[in-house]
Structure 1
């Protein structure tokens, strides 16, 4: 019998394949060529061009299992049985081929004969005026009239504005009165008794601007069956969340926390939200989406942050969502196989995003909780928009997150006040931009005035580092001056110059400008209004406009910069060869002493990959390729296969830099004459700087030699410190590590012994509260294991008691609670007690009724937290 989600999906596709349908893979969640959609949100969404006739379908009959995302009801996810942000829709489609009779009869055949659902539990709804559908269900299928329920336009007519539209017919499954008997437990209601499992849309009309429904010459069929819903019926689960499409993720999180799935309503919601959102985020990221502050990127960010926040309710204080990706990939492999291929990338993005969020979440949450607590104490029910905006502006709390948390406390948020503050901020930013733009525009004008005085090919630094030229401009604080004297700083403009101006990641040249009467040092060279501007300090004499000078670039500095710049080209090519063609430069810094290269890639590089990349670059260096430059038309350069560099603006003509057959890029920077001039190339670090962006830092030439020598010196110093030879250093470190582990075990044993010796002393602190024995104690520097053992020993010595122990350490506190069997029967539960206690100390946790543990991030509140235990005992005993 068909039961699993994978079996249902395959059975559906096989069934419609037998009916002459072309079976297509699920489209990616990110829509292609459809700016009207953030996400693929229905099975028909990828086929809109076929439905509107703008494209010819590959076949007139198609069936798919389509992954979908919808977030319009996100606040209900986890709180109801069937709301999801990610779900799978089974659908069969006809583009001007078959129509109602086939769609209806095949639908009935599939649910009754393939899925073997009990016909007596199936109900049909149709549009009240659709006599054709009624006759097919009644006469062809053979359903009694009372099983076919007519409904109005709102329930059973599909239409979005003008254009194609038509009536619907839905198949519902009756789960019985035990599933619900409220007013909503009726056909078309929001209750859990009647489940709509399949919607058949008959697109037969075109709704005109004049308000007329005209028959379409080519009628279409669009159906959608919810896989999760069908699975819940066949697997006989209470909700979709207990099916094999979701429950394994929940089970993994339960295993990680130790808190039962159904411990209380809060835990149920938390587990369901996490399981749902990790499916959405994981599959969306594998389909090309990345977290950001706008559009679909913001949706991903919101899902991750929402799941992370619910994770805190279960005690997670560090990133954990990335650990669920492998289980998710296994579950969705039948519809989203790319997730399994991109595990490392998806994990990296999730972990990076969660780490970023957690940094600001702690502070923001504490402030928000204080705000809500104050509101409650003052019997107020609305959080001011100004306060919500402060959370957004300072701690990155989006309004919806603040609303979610506030709603849980029964507090509303003043949205209008928030929007007012947001509008005021936009106004301030706009005014600042206008002011900045004005001042910048004025500055640009000043420098642009020199364009006419500059020689046409005024940069001569590709071929020479010296130039006889003339000073045509001097400026201080963006104002023209006639001269600069010793000790003064300013900007200097030459008729032509060998100094390279900062551009494309390469920093500007430094050097000397001089004649017999003065000497100025160039500390940087930049471009303003496309004019080369030398930032200078006068060292000797004074300099005036119109003076003839000699401009000299520092040779060694330029050469060192050229080595690093040429190395970035080799590195770019090596990255593409090792990691794949998806690698693209997204930023760079080329300096005399190092290079920094940012590139698109979605996982940390392995040691093996880094070694291979480094070896490829050094091999290209040793090949000593000639570095050739040519100026080409942009189209010709592209045809040659030249790669464009980040940050460069290209005109009609471009400069092509070619290094043998290994590398060819468009680049305006300065380079070595042959790759052998680079000398040596060494990667010194690799890191992630944003989701999907990595960074490599490296050195070349003499700086590479300095790096090697410094590492060798460090090795020798470390060996001397550990009283061994460099060749024996590894073995010595292993020996010390073993000694440290032995000492740690010895220390742990002593801690356990010390804790046990305190047993009798602690028992003397046993007190009676409302007839209940209670023991609370605050200890120092005991780990989880020692604290649990001590708790167990104390529990063994008493017949009846509630015991709560706490141990403070560096920036944290841990709690362990236990309750004897007789008190559990009276309503005392260790898990409930520990959860409330830990919350006071800035943490959370839980466990079984007889034993539970938790952690907190505020050890300074340990005493206050333990004081809560007495209040809880009095409340329950009372």
Structure 2
């Protein structure tokens, strides 16, 4: 029977793969190209471009298990059975393909036939006006009318403003009156009896500005099933926190503190908050988020600080959260494998952040506790805003943390007073910089003033890396100045320039601006208000406004960048030829030392595909195609077949870059004169960065040569270490592997022999329970084969018995059970016994009535699992 979180996830994905769905990996928690979202907070979030039609999906049917973060109810986490900041959402999606009937029928099939939920415990809610859904549930699925409950728009209609929307149908599981009987324990309520486990959203309307619901020509399906909730039902736990998706973290924390999990309400809440928040923080950091004071960084900081503060309630005085990352990585490996790869990084971030916070916490807590004690003594219920602000401003104590701690003492914080103090501080800061600084809008306005002074085609860097020009603008600290002197850092604006400004993924040029009186190094070139801005440091002398200067781009750096940029065009074309026309560029970085190319594709590339892509690019390099550029009208360029990048905005005229008959793209970047100038091209990595988006990193020219040489050096050193020549290295490795296999076989034979020698000793441990011979034993360091062999030997020696053996290794436990023929006839079945036993040790398994085997992820539960055999025998024999 399916029970573990990993089993549920896999069963879900396998089920929908069998229904023709493309299975995609979870997208990272940090959204890609979606500034409207702080986090990926639902299964459908990565697919918004597919739902709104702005991007073609790789397939019209997709299913995922998506990691999500929501923090809107963070204060409830740890205090309720099912509030989390991190959770996993199982979802199946249709983009203009199947609709209500399939979504409903498949949903019912999965929960009743795959998960084996009792249909009598399932209730369905639908939108009150959705007669179509009612008929499908009633007539097609066959549910009784009274089990289909109509609800209003608030409960069963998905809509956010104008645009696509539609009715919902939810599947609820009735945990029985023993789970709750309060007024909240109703369908759609907040009680613990009826659990909403799956929401099916039927996106069939477009809500217009005029307030009309118009039928969509292409209807979509968006569903979401909470993995933690489903696991709590199948694992028969009181809350989500006792499932195998969270409880191992709690168990390890208990081991560290020695304080029982359910000692009291305070410790219970503390353990749950820590387990939840370490999941969120660890996975988010592995997905690229870092603690900071704004945006998603502040969310991470708040989670870490909140968990650390609850840790103090359990006696932690030193950083401890980083010690929980490994168990977290093990739990989430099925959906967030990158966490295991980044253990050291995540641990370092957590430890550093917690160390920093503990210093803040110690000082701030003492002051806050004094404030709260004083308020209690005076029988007051509100902490003044100015006091909360003093904690924040002087000691770095966050308002939300003050509110959390005050709430536990039954005291509210005057938020309006806090905001008043905050605004006063902002006004003081604005006044202080009024004379010397500008807002970002004013800065943009400042740079735009130079537009009229710049020549129309002021960038000359396509054809020349040196230019005699004039400095028409000098700035320092966002202020216009008349001169820049030695040691100054500032901006220089030229009437014309050979320096390429960062754009289209290509980084800006570096070089020098100079004349007989001064020299400035250009550290970077960027665009502000469409003006080329040279960010410089004056090395010597002094430049004055309107000086005539020479602008010189670093040639080697530009050429190396051009090689990598031209290579991205060849790579783009090769990807389309090898993988298909669905491949499109979705981002890039072009630098002197490497290129990074992001592209749309639905699965990891096979080694053979990578080899073929690399071969095609190098073949195009060796063909030495001329690289030709021309400015064309946008429509003419598209008619020519030039590739336009999705999401890019183009003007009426565009620059077309053509490389023989191989590649033609719209591009404003700098390139080589012929593809042969690229030199060697080598792919160094391929990875996934989001749902349906892959990334290739590659090197060209001298950097490719350096890459080859470094690999050759490793090869030579490895060969020397193994006392052979590089040409013989593979044979030597195979030889060593064979030696290892032979030794492993020898060791296995010795283990089998040792295990066999114990059979007489084990037979002496045979006990009778309710007239049935029962033998249970835990043995050291035996694998499946050895354990089965020993079980068979014992069964041959004993005429009648139930035998269950266990052995622990590699943080796992394995079980083997057998039942003799006479006892099978009395209702004892090895498969049933092993399933119950392994379940206690966090696993599952099964087999025939006479023999079965299973594994468990909780080796510490081995003794308890074997003890269960006695209960099972008594139950069957009785």
Provide TM-score, normalisation by structure 2. 0.53
Deviations 1:413-447 (A, max 9, x none): 11111111111111111111123349988996464
**3-state DSSP class of the match of 1:38?**
coil
Q: Which aligned pairs between 1:620-635 and structure 2 lie closer than 5 A?
A: 635=670
**3-state DSSP class of the match of 1:248?**
helix
Query: Within 2, Cα distance between the matches of 1:351 and 1:368?
Result: 25
Q: CA deviation at 1:180?
A: 0.7
Q: Name the CA shift for 1:379/1:54 in 2 (closer, same or farther; >3 Å).
A: same
Structure-2 residue corresponding to 1:102: 102
Structure-2 residue corresponding to 1:407: 407
Q: CA deviation at 1:225?
A: 0.4
Deviations 1:548-586 (A, max 9, x none): xxxxxxxxxxxxxxxxxx9xx9xxxxxxxxxxx99999x
Q: Which aligned pairs between 1:273-284 and structure 2 lie closer than 5 A?
A: 273-284=273-284
Q: CA deviation at 1:358?
A: 1.2
CA contact (8 A) 1:125 1:169 kept: yes
Query: Within 1, Cα distance between the matches of 2:58 and 2:537?
Result: 54
Structure-2 residue corresponding to 1:194: 194
Q: Name the CA shift for 1:383/1:130 in 2 (closer, same or farther; >3 Å).
A: same
Q: Name the CA shift for 1:142/1:385 in 2 (closer, same or farther; >3 Å).
A: same
Query: Within 2, Cα distance between the matches of 1:152 and 1:398?
Result: 40
Structure-2 residue corresponding to 1:262: 262
Deviations 1:223-269 (A, max 9, x none): 10000000000000000000000000000000000111111101011
Structure-2 residue corresponding to 1:689: none
Query: Within 1, Cα distance between the matches of 2:482 and 2:101?
Result: 77
Deviations 1:132-179 (A, max 9, x none): 111111111111111111100000000001011111110000111111
Structure-1 residue corresponding to 2:21: 21
Q: Which aligned pairs between 1:218-367 and structure 2 lie closer than 5 A?
A: 218-367=218-367
Q: Decide which moves more: 392-401 or 198-207.
A: 392-401
Query: Within 1, Cα distance between the matches of 2:541 and 2:301?
Result: 43
CA contact (8 A) 1:444 1:529 kept: no
Structure-1 residue corresponding to 2:57: 57
Query: Within 2, Cα distance between the matches of 1:529 and 1:96?
Result: 56
Structure-2 residue corresponding to 1:42: 42
CA contact (8 A) 2:522 2:537 kept: no
Q: CA deviation at 1:97?
A: 1.0
Structure-1 residue corresponding to 2:145: 145
Structure-1 residue corresponding to 2:207: 207
Q: Name the CA shift for 1:97/1:637 in 2 (closer, same or farther; >3 Å).
A: closer
CA contact (8 A) 2:520 2:539 kept: no
Are 1:9 and 2:36 matched, yes or no? no
Structure-2 residue corresponding to 1:156: 156
Query: Within 1, Cα distance between the matches of 2:589 and 2:521?
Result: 28
**3-state DSSP class of the match of 2:436?**
helix
CA contact (8 A) 1:68 1:86 kept: yes
Deviations 1:582-627 (A, max 9, x none): 9999xxxxxxxxxxxxxxxxxxxxxxxxxxxxxxxxxxxxxxxxxx
CA contact (8 A) 1:448 1:531 kept: no
Q: CA deviation at 1:661?
A: 5.0
Q: CA deviation at 1:635?
A: 3.7
Q: Name the CA shift for 1:413/1:132 in 2 (closer, same or farther; >3 Å).
A: same
CA contact (8 A) 1:20 1:61 kept: yes
**3-state DSSP class of the match of 2:435?**
helix
Structure-1 residue corresponding to 2:380: 380
CA contact (8 A) 2:485 2:538 kept: no
CA contact (8 A) 1:201 1:222 kept: yes
Structure-2 residue corresponding to 1:563: none
Structure-2 residue corresponding to 1:592: none
CA contact (8 A) 2:523 2:536 kept: no
Deviations 1:669-697 (A, max 9, x none): xxxxxxxxxxxxxxxxxxxxxxxxxxxxx
Query: Within 1, Cα distance between the matches of 2:61 and 2:19?
Result: 9
Q: Name the CA shift for 1:243/1:434 in 2 (closer, same or farther; >3 Å).
A: same
Q: Name the CA shift for 1:190/1:447 in 2 (closer, same or farther; >3 Å).
A: same
Larger Rg belongs to:
1
**3-state DSSP class of the match of 1:436?**
coil
Q: Which aligned pairs between 1:487-506 and structure 2 lie closer than 5 A?
A: 496=516
Displaced runs of 4+ in structure 1, greater than 2 A?
435-450, 494-498, 500-505, 527-534, 581-585, 633-642, 660-665
Query: Within 2, Cα distance between the matches of 1:58 and 1:183?
Result: 46
Query: Within 1, Cα distance between the matches of 2:368 and 2:422?
Result: 18
**3-state DSSP class of the match of 1:164?**
strand
Query: Within 1, Cα distance between the matches of 2:95 and 2:146?
Result: 32
Q: Name the CA shift for 1:34/1:634 in 2 (closer, same or farther; >3 Å).
A: closer
Q: CA deviation at 1:69?
A: 0.5
Provide TM-score, normalisation by structure 1. 0.53
CA contact (8 A) 1:17 1:23 kept: yes
Q: Show structure 2 runs of 5+ residues with no match.
A: 439-474, 487-491, 493-513, 525-534, 543-556, 561-587, 593-667, 680-700, 707-878
Query: Within 2, Cα distance between the matches of 1:437 and 1:206?
Result: 47
Query: Within 2, Cα distance between the matches of 1:298 and 1:314?
Result: 25
Deviations 1:19-76 (A, max 9, x none): 1111111111111111111111001111111111111111111111111000000000
Query: Within 1, Cα distance between the matches of 2:678 and 2:361?
Result: 47
Query: Within 2, Cα distance between the matches of 1:10 and 1:199?
Result: 19
**3-state DSSP class of the match of 2:434?**
helix
CA contact (8 A) 1:184 1:191 kept: yes
CA contact (8 A) 1:203 1:222 kept: yes
Q: Name the CA shift for 1:264/1:435 in 2 (closer, same or farther; >3 Å).
A: same
CA contact (8 A) 2:521 2:539 kept: no
Are 1:133 and 2:143 matched, yes or no? no
Query: Within 2, Cα distance between the matches of 1:636 and 1:330?
Result: 46
Deviations 1:712-769 (A, max 9, x none): xxxxxxxxxxxxxxxxxxxxxxxxxxxxxxxxxxxxxxxxxxxxxxxxxxxxxxxxxx
Q: Name the CA shift for 1:93/1:530 in 2 (closer, same or farther; >3 Å).
A: same
Query: Within 1, Cα distance between the matches of 2:271 and 2:2?
Result: 27
Q: Name the CA shift for 1:495/1:59 in 2 (closer, same or farther; >3 Å).
A: closer
